[in-house]
């Protein structure tokens, strides 16, 4: 799959219905587990009034939460216009529409229009992208202080589940695919780029990594 096909498929999978469902779950139950771990890790750095660049930010849970105590600006990038609409709706409702910029499209194509920020996050996004290496290079390059992301665990049982999900997508004619990229290669790249690992946390099937410069 090339990256254009990836973006069309992403727009379709992350459509209005899913965006509404995600919002309902967030409003009823709060952030999902990986998001909660990322929030805890970011808050440990005790940053204040900084800018967040959230890549593949979905309905915007990370910035909705971090506006409470850590950030004063956010840039929200997503390949799905439906998710951006829902994120923006929440920001307008909370009176912070002017503090958030929304950028729609494939983050790798958009690299020149994304501002550098103290915090850069990718929550469950690297696994949506075929060319993880380019994605990580482009996004890590935008972070000044913290680079935080979640990925599916690079383990056999997670790979089996994701292969089954991909097989169902193939049968349904859905072009979207999820990926379990090699965590060793990912860390090797971040090491080369000069990042130091601060923490690894996670759940049974997800890992959350926090890097600092
Ligand atoms: C699984 S969702 C995660 C959303 C949110 N980060 C969360 O954890 O709730 C993946 C998100 O990444 C976005 N995405 C996937 N590939 C992308 C790309 N190349 N550029 C920008 N956004 C992308 C999708 O549109 C979707 O909103």
- Does any ligand 1 atom lie closer than 6 A to the CB of residue 56? yes
If you average pLDDT over residues 170-184, what whole number do you get?
A: 90
The model's pTM: 0.94
Examine the pLDDT at 31 and tell me if it is beyond 90. yes
pLDDT at 1: 46
Q: Look-up: residue for tokens 């799959």?
A: 1
Range scoring the smallest mean pLDDT among 6-10, 127-131, 184-188: 6-10
Average pLDDT score over the chain: 94
- Does any ligand 1 atom lie closer than 6 A to the CB of residue 102? no
Examine the pLDDT at 41 and tell me if it is beyond 60. yes
Strands 143-152 and 206-212: antiparallel
Examine the pLDDT at 189 and tell me if it is beyond 80. yes
- Does any ligand 1 atom lie closer than 6 A to the CB of residue 10? yes
pLDDT at 183: 92
> Any idea where the domains of the chain sit in the sequence?
3-212
pLDDT at 6: 67
DSSP 116: P
**Gap from CA of 168 to ligand 1 centroid (Å):** 20
pLDDT at 10: 82
Residues 120-158: pLDDT tens digits?
A: 999 999 999 989 999 999 999 999 999 999 999 999 999
Find residue 206's DSSP bridge partners.
152
SS (H, E, C) the chain: CCHHHHHHHHHHHCCHHHHHHHHHHHHHHCCCHHHHHHHHHHHHCCCCCEEEEEECCCCCHHHHHHCCCCEEEEEEEECCHHHHHHHHHHHHHCCCHHHEEEEECCCCCCHHHCCCEEEEEEECCHHHCCCHHHHHHHHHCCEEEEEEEEEECCCHHHHHHHHHHHHHHHHHCCCCCCCCCCHHHHHHHHHHCCCEEEEEEECCCEEEEEEEC
If you average pLDDT over residues 177-198, what whole number do you get?
A: 95
Q: How many CB atoms lie within 10 A of CB 110?
A: 15
Superfamily of 3-212 according to CATH: Vaccinia Virus protein VP39 (3.40.50.150)
* Closest-lying ligand 1 atom to the alpha carbon of residue 3: 19
Residues 61-95: pLDDT tens digits?
A: 999 999 999 999 999 999 999 999 999 999 999 99
Whole-number Å distance between alpha carbons of 139 and 129: 13
Ligand 1: which of 56, 119, 205 to mutate, judged by most atoms within 8 Å of the beta carbon?
56
pLDDT at 11: 82
Q: How confident is the model at residue 12 (pLDDT cuts 50, 70, 90)?
A: confident
pLDDT at 174: 87
């Amino acid at each position: 799959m090339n990256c254009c096909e990836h973006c069309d498929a992403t727009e379709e999978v992350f459509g209005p219905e899913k965006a509404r469902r995600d919002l309902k779950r967030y409003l009823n139950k709060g952030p999902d587990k990986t998001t909660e771990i990322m929030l805890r890790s970011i808050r440990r750095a005790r940053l204040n009034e900084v800018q967040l660049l959230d890549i593949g930010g979905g309905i915007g849970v990370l910035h909705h939460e971090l506006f409470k105590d850590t950030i004063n600006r956010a840039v929200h990038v997503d390949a799905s216009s439906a998710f951006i609409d829902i994120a923006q709706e929440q920001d307008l409702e909370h009176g912070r529409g002017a503090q958030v910029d929304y950028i729609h499209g494939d983050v790798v194509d958009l690299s020149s229009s994304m501002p550098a920020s103290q915090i850069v996050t990718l929550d469950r996004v690297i696994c949506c992208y075929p060319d993880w290496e380019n994605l990580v290079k482009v996004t890590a390059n935008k972070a000044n202080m913290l680079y935080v992301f979640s990925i599916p665990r690079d383990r056999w049982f997670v790979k089996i589940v994701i292969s089954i999900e991909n097989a169902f997508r193939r049968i349904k004619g859905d072009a979207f695919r999820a990926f379990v990229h090699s965590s060793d290669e990912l860390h090797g790249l971040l090491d080369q780029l000069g990042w130091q690992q601060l923490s690894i946390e996670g759940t049974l099937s997800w890992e959350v990594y926090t890097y600092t410069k």
